[in-house]
Amino acid sequence: MTDNVVPLTDFRARDAVPKVPGVLVAPTGRLLDARSRPLHDLRISVTDRCNFRCVYCMPKEVFTKDYPYLPHASLLSFEEIRRLAALFLAHGTEKIRLTGGEPLLRKNLESLVAQLADLRTPSGRAPDLTLTTNASLLARKAKALADAGLTRVTVSLDALDDATFRRMNDADFPVSDVLRGIDAAAEAGLGPVKVNMVVKRGVNDDQVVPMARYFRNSGHILRFIEYMDVGASNGWKMDEVVPSADVLARIHEAWPLESLEPHYSGEVAQRWRYADGGGEVGVISSVTQAFCGTCSRARLSTEGKLYLCLFAQRGHDLRALLRGGASDAELSTVIGQIWAGRNDNYSEVRTADTVREQKIEMSYIGG
């Protein structure tokens, strides 16, 4: 492992515009890649902006006030997102998660939620429609999102201690406002709320047990994510990782845990419950137990690039096809062809360069 800071580079010019094949193929409702992994989850980034400057994701020294964010015209419109989402559902996708950046910064997001909530899978079911947020705006938006058809929310919260949390978000945002957002989401019916904590040794690992204590018997599901390199100039080092096994040991010492089965094949969070009935916790071992072998997730970036891996440095430019007049049948065939050709998550990863779209909040992994 190198201790060097990873430089941030824009490789948009390398993103390929997929070629439409001569023979169009209708979706079957179950699309598998070369390793028989289904396309179960679709992450849709609706903005590249965030009002936090978390040190592991969008550090302030990189994302300054002069940082060149995408112009609005480059973003997929709500109508374009809905059109693509419908095609993914036709291929068997069952879960759609809205992410960012901070997705609640996108104006009129409730309108997009309503459009997506009206979609159906081939079996006639509504998709599991969720959203990952830092909760800075959640208290004021939770009810409107629920009314529009949002199913659940995942909230990023890295500490209960206010001073620690303010240092980590680097925007002087208080814990109390995040907790207020979680309460508002629960009251609006967006539950069970999942709370994601990125654990970094020497920074917030002393918050593991306090977080577990706070969320026990709350009805919320707390998950702990191993601190990892997301290619955002965060100076990642292996010795700053607290393995999930250590996290579980700390909690188990206070409240015995019992393992649970995953909800579905490809679920990245390992599930545990308190033996005394105090609820559920999870761990996402993104470093010590990589889950690529069962990965069933794709990501659609803010400007319409389809990525097949969190670390991929090349995307497939679906926006160019959308705005170039491609039909639904052509787009559907292209999506099917891209996923069917997916052989390994790590085919284009772990280089020193990272595209702009891969500055993903850690909760992307464990939504």
Give me the mean pLDDT over the 219-235 stretch.
76
Per DSSP, the three-state class of 42 is strand
* pLDDT of amino acid 289: 79
Residue 296's nearest CA partner among 113, 122, 95 is: 95
Give the Cβ contact number of residue 70 at 10 Å.
Answer: 17
Provide the pLDDT for residue 362.
Answer: 36
Q: What is the pLDDT of residues 52-100, one digit of tens each?
A: 998 878 888 889 989 999 999 999 999 999 999 999 999 999 999 999 9
Name the pairing type of β-strands 270-274 and 257-259: antiparallel
pLDDT in tens, 29-45: 999 999 999 999 999 99
Q: What is the DSSP letter of 180?
A: H
pLDDT score recorded for residue 15: 67
Pairwise CA distance, residues 157 & 330, whole Å: 41
Output the pTM of the full model. Answer: 0.88
Confidence at residue 345, expressed as pLDDT on a 0 to 100 scale: 53
Distance CA(265)–CA(324), nearest Å, equals 36
Q: At 4, is the pLDDT very low, low, confident or very high (cuts 50, 70, 90)? A: very low
Nearest to 300, CA basis, from 115, 148, 98 = 98
Predicted local confidence at residue 230, as pLDDT: 54
pLDDT-based confidence at residue 235 (cuts at 50, 70, 90)? low
DSSP state letter for 121: -
Across-strand partners of 225? 198, 284
Contact 319, 353 (CB under 8 A): no
How many CB atoms are located within 10 Å of the residue 338 CB? 20
- Asked whether the beta carbons of 280 and 200 are under 8 A apart, the reply is no
Residue 229 confidence (pLDDT): 58
Closest alpha carbon to 330 in 338, 321, 343 = 321
pLDDT above 60 for 160: yes
